[in-house]
Structure 1
């Protein structure tokens, strides 16, 4: 090798080493500080926390375990609705008192794992104007302005309620579109169990599973149906959306209400973030139905539960309030139809009240007793108050 060629070789070699030295791998460290393993918990990675070279785009990233190189299911969300994805979601499995390393890698389309849109929500104009949502465990719906106007105009088939309805599913796959489609051919078809579950949960003017109220003196006041909606995300890990309500009166207090709701894969409880003004606290409620159930109120832990006979089975409903923001609880019993609820009083911080609400149905073969249901709530509460610790290197 002559001197010139040797010099060129060394220059190229130096450039290669220089390039390799600047090529950085993004490592995500997820740590579990609890004595229990963690699954079905969502890690959020914000785009602003990452740095990429120009050739890489945020939406081309995948997540793989560093040790096994297993590629995980992930999902992107345009959280601020500006047309660009800004949050990456994934759900790791972490043993008790341990940590696991994940690498963010650019994936070829063929390398991405198959995904099912288990977490799904949509506006349902074909059934008046419901908004419905579900994951692999549970389903819910609530009611819009057309359904309200029908009641106000005396038209049959309307619904006047800001309560949250429970759709009792017992299959993992999505059922919302399927059940509404069946109802187009046979009115009320989803009120019958054809093997997938059914809607036999009565809401009326009750709070259902997590609707809110404002209490003034000894009286509870509530909003009417939602007036506007916006879907934020659907996917394998999370569905999220926003429901807006007309301002409402609570004995002279003008209350504004906007619900930011999300439901993650594997969870029996939806997350509610209520944007509210006009009050320093709100009451989230669980309907008492026939008043033949058992209530549990654990203020210090921050949750309430109602376990009841339901049809030929049993059902548990619950509200969980994180970070010590449950101020009190109240079993409100009245002769007025659908007005009796078990309430959790929740502190409003910086114009927002945050809680989780959901249910467990015995027929779904996961919660066969009140004790098992409440064990789930205890663990759920422990985990949301001690989130997985995430760091990026």
Structure 2
């Protein structure tokens, strides 16, 4: 039998193209991402972060905005978010969320597709943060479960000049929300005409938390000579990301304490989480002891629990016609000690978590759950949420890119 090698050489490239098209449709490239939960409880709506450096073969052909994330078990595309961490105009990571059972492993696909941006699914809920000049100069952030705010230099100036409306604190304030959709813009808009607008619960929640000069939930200081020395309000901000999965921003502070600490907080909040993540960079001009995270004890009537070996610390107290749990979660390897400090000075009775930052950086999580939101029904529920958050920190999802 005589074989026509010339025809084979001609037809083989065409046949290969046919196979590629038949297998992948309009998709030319894809990567598999294997995600494993090593814990013995289900992890719901947890964020997976893929560095864009791991997707270079995809981005060499497709724009990052045309990358899709697919769950092969359902065939559905997942909501994803690109984040430009260093603000250079190019995304640094791709985020998507997974719900994965105890000790389960699942595989997802990142697909490059022409005009993939047109096929991206849209999220019903989102994260959000912004500077709020219409309320002096707050910075506020939220997701589908919780909302927070802190205060800027104009609020500090008003206080120091003994003028009304000011707030002097670097503490973290809480907004009790009980709806999944964003409320920050609506509540601030209402407060333009009525100062007490967001102090009244109209079915969405309210601002019923008092931060004052305390640390609120997650503010820091230096514990020294039986006193907590703290910074004043933030002096500048930078919004880095807002999207369906994560909001990220930075706050900077004027040098504070006798140690002249130059502080930058990078704060992020993921959809579905009750906890903001704080990555605090501390550059003192001389060695500084006892960097301490605080939780305000208000009237000192709350139920307190300190678990330094597990890495979580909490209070359960009355709040807004219900109960609220406030807490801090930190790697126990970074915890030096924890105690309650009772003071006759207003706003200075607090839970103190004394820490050991690593390479001048302290990472921790601070958050809350309001019973009226339906997220917890008891202090036992709040303890369980804190314990799971601590275990997530110690045992992050195992992500393998193939």
Work out whether the TM-score is over 0.5.
yes
- CA gap 1:28/1:144 in 2 versus in 1, 3 angstroms: same
Supply the RMSD in Å over aligned alpha carbons. 2.2
When structure 1 is superposed on structure 2, of 188-197 and 367-376 the one drifting more is: 367-376
Equivalent residue number for residue 340 of structure 1: 349
Measured in 1, the distance between the counterparts of 2:142 and 2:344 equals 33
Please report how far the alpha carbon of residue 299 of structure 1 lies from its aligned counterpart in structure 2 after TM superposition: 0.7
Equivalent residue number for residue 325 of structure 1: 334
Please report how far the alpha carbon of residue 93 of structure 1 lies from its aligned counterpart in structure 2 after TM superposition: 1.4
Measured in 2, the distance between the counterparts of 1:336 and 1:203 equals 14
Q: Alpha-carbon deviations, 1:333-379, whole Å to 9, x = none?
A: 10001111111112110110011001111110121211111111111
Equivalent residue number for residue 186 of structure 2: 178
Equivalent residue number for residue 88 of structure 2: 82
- Note if contact 1:131-1:144 (Cα within 8 Å) is conserved in structure 2: yes
Q: Alpha-carbon deviations, 1:289-324, whole Å to 9, x = none?
A: 111111100010011001111242111100000252
SS of equivalent residue, structure 1 residue 50:
helix
Paired residues, number: 391
Equivalent residue number for residue 192 of structure 1: 200
List structure 1 runs of 4+ shifted beyond 3 angstroms.
Answer: 1-7, 10-21
- Note if contact 1:261-1:272 (Cα within 8 Å) is conserved in structure 2: yes
Equivalent residue number for residue 125 of structure 1: 133
Q: Alpha-carbon deviations, 1:147-190, whole Å to 9, x = none?
A: 10111112111111101100000000000000001111212200
1:56 is aligned to 2:58: no
Measured in 2, the distance between the counterparts of 1:220 and 1:10 equals 75
Written as runs of structure 1 = structure 2, the 5 A alignment for 1:126-141 is 126-141=134-149
Q: Alpha-carbon deviations, 1:224-260, whole Å to 9, x = none?
A: 00000000110111011000000011xx322221111
Q: Which residue of 91, 94, 101 maps to 1:95?
A: 101
Measured in 2, the distance between the counterparts of 1:293 and 1:31 equals 38
SS of equivalent residue, structure 2 residue 11:
helix
Measured in 1, the distance between the counterparts of 2:301 and 2:292 equals 22
Measured in 2, the distance between the counterparts of 1:333 and 1:209 equals 16
Equivalent residue number for residue 260 of structure 1: 266
Please report how far the alpha carbon of residue 280 of structure 1 lies from its aligned counterpart in structure 2 after TM superposition: 4.9
Could you tell me which runs of 5 or more consecutive residues in structure 1 were left unpaired when the two chains were aligned. Answer: none
Please report how far the alpha carbon of residue 216 of structure 1 lies from its aligned counterpart in structure 2 after TM superposition: 1.6
Q: Which residue of 375, 380, 386 maps to 2:384?
A: 375
1:38 is aligned to 2:46: no
Relative to the length of structure 1, the TM-score reads 0.94
Q: Alpha-carbon deviations, 1:185-225, whole Å to 9, x = none?
A: 21220000000000011111000011001012322100000
1:308 is aligned to 2:317: yes
Q: Which residue of 266, 283, 287 maps to 2:292?
A: 283
Could you tell me which runs of 5 or more consecutive residues in structure 2 were left unpaired when the two chains were aligned. Answer: none
Q: Alpha-carbon deviations, 1:56-106, whole Å to 9, x = none?
A: 122211111123211111111001111111110011111111210000013
- CA gap 1:18/1:102 in 2 versus in 1, 3 angstroms: closer
